[in-house]
Amino acid sequence: MSHSRPPATRSDAQRARLALAEADWANLARFEATTRDPDRPLTALQWLAGAALAAAVAEHFTALAAMTTGTAGARMWAEEATRLRDTAARYELAATLAEPQDSDHVAHDAA
């Protein structure tokens, strides 16, 4: 995922939204670091957690785009939100292809 950081914001509402986005972004970056270890494939639940993080950041960026309508930054926020929604969709697809967790097998066997 190669996302650029959108432009600086100015209003208190924008700064507050950006703070939330940055926190979720940091969690997403940590998640993405785990996807690079070929010896530890992710489970479906882990991929879904990553998809939720990407979708959360996309929502923050969509809100920031709405707050900056009519500015050069609005387009960048919107484009980044689109990229993150695409990332979330890819992670959801990876979840459907991932091996289930051992607890998923136990629950299925018990049924």
Residues 29-87 have pLDDT tens digits of: 999 998 888 888 899 999 999 999 999 999 999 999 999 888 888 999 999 999 999 99
Task: Note whether residue 17 is domain-resident.
Answer: yes
One-letter amino acid at 80 equals: E
The answer to whether residue 4 is domain-embedded is: no
Surface-to-core class of residue 82, CB atoms within 10 Å of its CB (0-12 exposed, 13-18 middle, 19+ buried): middle
Is residue 6 domain-resident?
Answer: no
Residue 1 lies in a domain: no
**Domain annotation covers residue 79:** yes
The range of the structural domain enclosing residue 100 comes to 12-110
Residue 83 domain flag: yes
**What is the C-alpha to C-alpha distance for residues 96 and 50, in angstroms, rounded to an integer?**
13
Q: Residue 107 corresponds to which tokens in the numbers above?
A: 């629950």
Asked whether residue 3 is domain-assigned, the answer is no
**What is the number of structural domains in the chain?**
1
pLDDT bracket for residue 6 (50, 70, 90): low
Locate 81 and state its tokens. 């939100």
Kindly tell me the burial class for residue 58, based on how many C-beta atoms sit within 10 Å of its own C-beta (0-12, 13-18, 19 or more): buried
